[in-house]
Structure 1
Amino acid sequence: MTTVTLDALDLSALLCSRVCHDVISPVGAIVNGLEVLEDEDSAEMRDFALDLIRKSAKQASARLQFARIAFGAAGSAGSSIDLADAENVARGMFGDEKTQLSWSAPRALFPKNKVKLLLNLVVIAVTAIPRGGVIDVKVTGEAEGALFVLTAKGTHARIPAHVETLIAGTPAGGTVDAHAIQPFYAGLVARAAEMDVRFSIDGDTVTIRAEAAAPSVPPASAETNAETDDNGI
């Protein structure tokens, strides 16, 4: 299959669309809450509005903090991100009643692209259990040889449609839209981090495994083969 590439303008536009999609719902709820405060004299309704504003503001903040690391240039002054920061934003984004997040990782600085990949894989793990469940994130090994294993367990678990081809950069139809940009971007980050991503499913558990990409072995040159034949080996 043909590998799809996006120019910088298309990639940035699609990622911006994705972030706006994530943030617009809680921001809209804040606006609704403010309108209730302006129009209602009922103490009960005003308390409801304040609670809505409080929860929605917290949710919007969590989504923006997550996007800042997963999609943005967080910590651009350096080339590493603390895994503890990644855990904090992941818990803020996904730690709710529907999804339980378990996180096991060293408290260490990891290369930026590896941390971005890890967070993007958490997003994909969440979509693998549409009815909620438990996501277990494990990071082992040193930064350069890190192994990420994410398991998503829940009813109706499935490997998200087209996610494997999107991560490989070979989407069906040869196009990428705003709905598909996140796994496509995860594939770009994986290649930048020199990591391979693999999926498997067993019953109600989806496993996502990311590890250092195997080095490519160049084919032997004709000259080398000729020398081997001359030596009779």
Structure 2
Amino acid sequence: MNILALEPLDLAALLASRVCHDVISPVGAIVNGLEVLEEDKDEGMREFALDLIRKSAHTASARLQFCRLAFGAAGSAGASIDTGDAEKVARGLFADDRTQLIWEAPRVFMPKNKVKLALNLCLIAAACIPRGGVMHVVIEGEGDDSRIAVAVKGPNLKLASHVADLLEGHSESGSVDAHGIQPYFTGLVARSCGMAVQVTASSEEVALKAAPAVAATLQTTAE
């Protein structure tokens, strides 16, 4: 297993590609809807186009707001983020008629990297339930002892095989692409705030737990 060490420019480029991939679909749908409004005079088609534009604009906004907190600076160095804001963007992106989001966390200001870690763990978990399901987020503890857990259940539940390795900064191929950059970035964020991520997957549930690195090491040793 090879250790990944990306140049800053490569990391930035891959993250930008990931964000563009997430946003381009709803933006493209908005463009298509506007073209229908310009060219089609049928009232039924125009109403369909307006509905498409409304839904796609909402989706694009939700994805951008989420990405701003999950990947962006979100304030100056050392800034803290309200966990209530994190819950809001998470609900905007994940909570719909297919997915139920259960968020259990006190509304407090947390170091921005820990909030970014929680949101990125949600992204990894969401990818495990392509047909929807239940996502359960728990944030507990204070200061250096804070812990984050994200678990998902749902039909067609599956964790991509490369996720656990990329979280640890490893890659079998020695490289990473725009599809794998998000879990790799999540691992970088975890280590930046002294935390380690443990992943467990079964046919019924995928769980990602972030705890202080020393505590996680002691637990693994005990097991």
- TM-score norm. by structure 1 comes to 0.89
Question: Which residue of structure 2 lines up, in the alignment, with residue 37 of structure 1?
Answer: 37
Q: How far apart, in 1, do the equivalents of 2:167 and 2:95 lie?
A: 25
Once the two structures are aligned, what percentage of the paired residues are identical? 57
Structure 1 position 160, deviation (Å): 2.2
CA RMSD between the two structures: 1.6
Q: How far apart, in 1, do the equivalents of 2:8 and 2:161 lie?
A: 26
Pairs aligned (count): 217
Task: Return the index of the structure with the highest Cα Rg.
Answer: 1
Structure 1 position 169, deviation (Å): 0.4
CA contact (8 A) 2:2 2:173 kept: no
Within 5 A, what are the aligned runs for 1:64-103? 64-76=64-76, 79-103=79-103
Q: Which runs of 5+ in 1 are unaligned?
A: 218-233
Q: How far apart, in 2, do the equivalents of 1:89 and 1:75 lie?
A: 16
Q: How far apart, in 2, do the equivalents of 1:91 and 1:169 lie?
A: 29
The runs of at least 4 consecutive aligned structure 1 residues that moved more than 6 Å come to none
Structure 1 position 77, deviation (Å): 6.2
Q: How far apart, in 1, do the equivalents of 2:59 and 2:152 lie?
A: 22
Structure 1 position 93, deviation (Å): 0.9
CA contact (8 A) 1:156 1:204 kept: no
- Residue identity matched to 1:49: A
- Partner of 1:144: helix, strand, or coil? helix
Q: How far apart, in 1, do the equivalents of 2:185 and 2:130 lie?
A: 21
- Residue identity matched to 2:13: A
Note the alpha carbon deviations across 1:14-66, whole angstroms, 9 max, x for none.
00000000000000000000000001111111111111111111110110000
CA contact (8 A) 1:84 1:107 kept: yes
Note the alpha carbon deviations across 1:129-170, whole angstroms, 9 max, x for none.
222210000111113211111110112323322101001000
Q: How far apart, in 1, do the equivalents of 2:129 and 2:43 lie?
A: 39
Question: Which residue of structure 1 lines up, in the alignment, with residue 19 of structure 2?
Answer: 19
- TM-score norm. by structure 2 comes to 0.93
Q: How far apart, in 2, do the equivalents of 1:168 and 1:6 lie?
A: 14
